[in-house]
A and B are shown apart, each in its own frame.
Chain A
Amino acid sequence: MGRRIGLMGDEAVAYAVKQCDVGLVSAYPITPQTIMVERISEYVANGEIDTEFVCVESEHSALSVCVGASLSGLRVFTATASQGLALMHEVLYAASGLRCPIVMAVANRALSAPLNIHCDHSDMMGSRDCGWVQVFAENVQEAYDWVIQAFKIAEHPDVQLPTVVNLDGFTLTHCMEDVEVLEDEDVKKFLPPRKPIYWVDPKQPMTFGAWAMPNYYYKFKLQQQEAIMRSLRVVKEVGEEFGKLTGRRYDTLYGYGLEDAEVAVLSMGSTSGTIRYTARRLRESDGLKVGALKLWLFRPFPEEDLVSALEKVKVLIVLDRALSPGAVFGPLGSDIASLMVKHGLDFKLLNYTYGLGGDEVTPEMAEKLFKLGLKVAEGAKPPSLTGYVREVV
Chain B
Amino acid sequence: MVTLKQLPVEELWGPGHNACAGCGSSIAVKMILKALRGPTVVVSPTGCVEVVSSSYPQTAWGVPWVHVLFENAAAVASGIEAAYKYMVKKGITNEKPDVIVIAGDGGTFDIGLQALSGALERWHDFLYICYDNEAYMNTGIQRSSATPKGAWTTTSPAGKVIPGKPEWKKDLIGIAVAHGIPYAATATIAYWNDLITKVRKALEVEGPTVLHVLAPCPLGWRFDPSKTVEISRLAVQTRYFPLYEVENGVYKLSVKVSRPKPVEEFLRPQRRFRHLFTPENRHIIEEIQKNIDEGWERLLKRCGLKS
Contacts and interface: CB of A to CB of B under 8 A. Distances in A.
A65 B69 CA distance: 12
Interface stretch (A201-209, A319-327, A340-348): A201-209
B80 A200 contact: yes
Interface residues of B, number: 47
A36 B67 CA distance: 29
A69 interface: yes
Give the interface residue-count category, chain A.
35 or more
Interface stretch (A9-17, A56-64, A152-160): A56-64
B54 interface: yes
B115 A72 contact: no
A363 interface: no
B65 A205 contact: yes
Contacts of B59: 207, 210
A98 interface: yes
Contacts of A209: 54, 66-68
Contacts of A54: 78-79, 82, 122
Given A52-B85, A69-B82, A73-B83, A60 B66 contact: no
B118 A58 contact: yes
Given A68-B68, A211-B54, A61 B61 contact: no
- Residue among A56, A68, A200 with the most chain B CB within 10 A? A68
A86 to B, nearest CB: 15
Contacts of A200: 41, 64, 66, 80
A70 B79 CA distance: 8
Given A23-B83, A64-B69, A68-B75, A202 B56 contact: no
Interface in B61-105: 61-69, 71-72, 74-87, 89-90, 95, 97
A210 B51 CA distance: 8
A202 to B, nearest CB: 3
B43 interface: yes
A91 interface: yes
Contacts, number: 155
Nearest to A208: B66
A37 interface: no
B87 A74 contact: yes
Given A205-B62, A210-B59, A94 B118 contact: no
B155 interface: no
Contacts of B90: 23, 50
Contacts of B154: none
B72 A60 contact: yes
A68 B54 contact: no
A107 interface: no
Contacts of B118: 56-58, 61
A24 B78 CA distance: 11
B54 A69 contact: no
A57 B55 contact: no
B78 A61 contact: yes
A98 B65 CA distance: 13
Contacts of B74: 61
A60 B111 CA distance: 12
Nearest to A209: B67
A317 B71 CA distance: 43
B78 A68 contact: yes
Contact of B79 (A60, A65, A210): A65
Given A65-B75, A68-B77, A213-B56, A208 B86 contact: no
B8 interface: no
Interface in A121-171: none
A329 to B, nearest CB: 32
Contacts of A71: 66, 79-80
B63 A72 contact: no
B117 A57 contact: yes
A106 interface: no
A64 B124 CA distance: 14
B83 A216 contact: no
A68 B76 contact: yes
Interface of B: 39-41, 43, 50-51, 54-59, 61-69, 71-72, 74-87, 89-90, 95, 97, 114-115, 117-118, 121-122
Given A64-B76, A202-B39, 12 more contacts: A24-B82, A52-B83, A57-B114, A62-B75, A65-B76, A68-B80, A68-B81, A91-B68, A205-B61, A207-B54, A207-B64, A211-B50
